[in-house]
Amino acid sequence: MQLNASRSLVIALSKGRPLSELLSMLAQLGIQPTDDMTTSRKLVFETNQPDVRLMVLRGHDVATYVEHGIADLGIVGKDVLLEFQGDGFYEPLDLKMSQCQMMVAGLVNEGRLPRRLRVATKFVETAKRHYADKGIQIDIIKLTGALELAPVMQLAHRIVDIVETGNTLVANGLEPKELICDISSRLIVNKVAYKTKRALIQPLIERLAEITT
């Protein structure tokens, strides 16, 4: 059977820390996997609903699978969507889960900054848009971890990163400088699936809206 058969739904979930919270939310809708998704090495899971299957993927892959219609729906962080280049899905719902902020941060006692900044981040597209909107020229330094070290070691003047408590910034002598946007988990829906499977998808969106209000 195809995963996206006309009378079934495939929902792609982000692996990692948010997964248990996402599964709890789906359980409120009466959707529960038949195997433990937090420990199993499987990637596709049957559920107690014969017309629903679940996939567990990395965040960016969730968007890709929904973009190409392999998954009908996905739940993924807004930070991923800001970086994603496709437009094959709708983003109908903020689930208000895994909330944090996308921030620009820098040293607490930073000196005078040059006109052209070096900005370290793994959120390259987000950083480019933010500074372009402000008319500030930047050079991007792409890093995948330990971003707080970049200003400390003078690799970069600023960083663009996800901030939850801000404790890591403080511990490294940094502080938030600008809020770019609030981040949370979002529901995305493949555009074609929304038309062809609307009778299945729309009630699910409405029920999710009810429990996340």
Q: Which CATH number is associated with domain 9-98+184-212?
A: 3.40.190.10
> How many helices (H) and strands (E) in the chain?
8, 11
Instruction: Give residue limits of the domains in the chain.
Output: 9-98+184-212, 100-182
More confident residue, 18 or 10: 10
pLDDT digits (tens, 9 = 90+) for 120-172: 999 999 999 999 999 999 999 999 999 999 999 999 999 999 999 999 999 99
Q: Per-residue pLDDT tens for 65-94?
A: 999 999 999 999 999 999 998 889 999 999
Alpha-carbon distance of 183 to 174, in angstroms, equals 20
190 and 89 in contact (C-beta within 8 Å)? yes
- The sign of the CA dihedral 207, 209, 212, 213 is negative
CATH of domain 100-182: 3.40.190.10
**Alpha helices per DSSP H over the chain:** 19-28, 59-67, 78-83, 124-134, 149-152, 167-171, 191-196, 198-212
Long-range contacts of 40-49 (CB under 8 A, 24+ apart): 44/3
